[in-house]
Structure 1
Amino acid sequence: MEASDKYSEALMNGEVFKRAKVLKRHHPSKRKEVASHIKAGDLYYTVYTLVSNECSAHMIKRTQGKY
């Protein structure tokens, strides 16, 4: 899940305030959907990524920033 955290930090220009958590596993592709919690400035975001077996992360979506 470290791949997801690093990808999310670079994408949002912030830092992880809560470790990534696997939400579910996609059975056909065997990729994992992971939620990373990022703080960028005064706002907090949740970034959802798909992580493959080779530890490469790709963003699915992110939440709007919250205080």
Structure 2
Amino acid sequence: MASKIALKPKGKSGKGSKGSEEKSTVQCLKEWSTWAVKKAKVVTHYGFIPLVIIIGMNSEPKPQLYQLLSPV
């Protein structure tokens, strides 16, 4: 399930051409940003409710945990 970052440029190009270096850098940047956004989505998904509970527990007046979790 983990994505792998390819360090070699894909496609037909001559060795040592400057365009392939730029293209590989841009491609690596795109892959890294996609990976980072996916990880940020997971962290946000699983971290939002605990964050709300922690903020609620540190507010005044201090509620009990069951008061924060109860729907009433």
TM-score, normalized by the shorter chain, greater than 0.5: no
- TM-score, scaled relative to structure 2: 0.21
- TM-score, scaled relative to structure 1: 0.22
Compare relative contact order (CA 8 Å, sep 6+) and give the higher one, 1 or 2.
1
Q: Where is the strand percentage greater, Structure 1 or Structure 2?
A: 1
Q: Where is the helix percentage greater, Structure 1 or Structure 2?
A: 2
